[in-house]
Amino acid sequence: MKFKTSTLITCIAGAVVLSGSANAQQEDPWSIYGDARVRAEFNDTEGGSDRHRMRMRLRAGAKYQASDSLLFNFRLVTGDSDEPNSVHQDAGDAFNSFNVSLDRLHFDWSMSEHVNVLFGKFGNPIFRNPVYGELIWDGDVAPEGVAFVSEYDDFNFSFGQYAVAENTNEQSEDAWASVASIDTNIGDFTVGGSYTFYGNMSGKGIAEVGGNKTDNRTNSTVGDSFVSDFGIVDINLAYNVGALTASFEAIENIRADDSVDASGMALGLAYKMENGDKFYVTSNSIDQDAVFTAFSGDDTLGQASNYKGQILGYKTTLANGLGMHVWGMAIAPLDTGIAGFDNTEYRFRIDFNLSF
């Protein structure tokens, strides 16, 4: 579902008008939220010209508190609606208008004091590595289905059942995913983990490699089928002392084919200053089938898996909701035969982010 940018402005204005009308009668049930980004990105890649580009992102949504226990939420975003891992728009398309689509459309039902039910299209409630948390699931990916989220003191749990590819062909079963996540604090330690199970993923176009509209990026395939099945265990351990956080993440696809490497790990360190500025560094190593690359992080150039590398960043707040994120990375293939090259590739980014 795509809209022009003018549609986004109209929807936001409509929500504001409805908000004003409701406010005259009762406490305003509407709230508007969003963020904007302008990014300068510089890429030093193997086998071709270096790529430098400007990227932009706008996310704007509204929430409607229908009752004490029921919240409705929708959000519009820029970017290609056929790309779930990114809502960024590249400059340089002959000045064409940006596409806009929905990436949130869900109800949030407070079933009890400690349990919420999400149903529709929503942000993934999975627990993430506190230093860098997009190795298993990219932060832009919004699954569709139902999820149960429980928060009780320092103990958190979530379970989601998601529809990946619905098939009208009676001879083909639907592709789906089940995701369970748990985390808790024990003294200065945060312990968390998740398990993601993918079912019936082959034969539905997801395994295709190449072209501009394919979902799989670097997982091993034969024809239109994945070589491996995917059942991804993700274990995180973080030590928090004062302003310092150190993290360790271990990844294992326990359903991978024996012929394909399927482990991963990450070491991270973050320091948050008194003024809120944050420095962080992470070192990652991800085998070819350790993650499901259709939905995993997209920061690391073309290598969604089969890579090792480091990410270093600095975040600061400027003024009035405006912040800056300066970060860079160096990525090299683990198996040069699979990647087709053996050199290290570099990416440097400067993001200006505005929240409202």
pLDDT tens-place string over residues 267-320:
999 999 999 999 999 999 999 999 999 999 999 987 899 999 999 999 999 999
**pLDDT-above-70 percentage for the chain:** 89
The span from the CA of 10 to the CA of 323, in Å, is 27
Rounded average pLDDT over 324-334: 97
Answer yes or no: is pLDDT of 2 > 50: no
CA distances from 69 to 19, 113, 157, 158, 299 (A): 19, 10, 19, 18, 37
Residue 200 pLDDT class (50, 70, 90 cuts): very high
Nearby residues of 9 by Cβ (< 8 Å), 6 or more positions away:
none
Q: Phi and psi of 310, rounded to 5°?
A: -130, 150
Take residue 64 and report the two structure tokens written for it: 């409607």
Delineate the domains of the chain, giving CATH numbers in brackets. 2-355 (2.40.160.10)
The pLDDT assigned to 50 comes to 86
How many Cα atoms within 13 Å fall on the side-chain side of residue 317?
10
Residue 171 pLDDT class (50, 70, 90 cuts): low
Picking from 342, 267, 255, the residue whose alpha carbon sits closest to that of residue 310 is: 267
> ∠158-205-342 over CA atoms, to 5°?
85
pTM, two decimal places: 0.89
Cβ contact 218:278 at 8 Å:
no
Residue 17 pLDDT class (50, 70, 90 cuts): very low
Q: What is the largest CA-CA distance in the chain?
A: 67
CA distances from 95 to 35, 59, 81, 91 (A): 22, 20, 19, 8
The pLDDT assigned to 340 comes to 87
CB count, 10 Å around CB of 244?
11
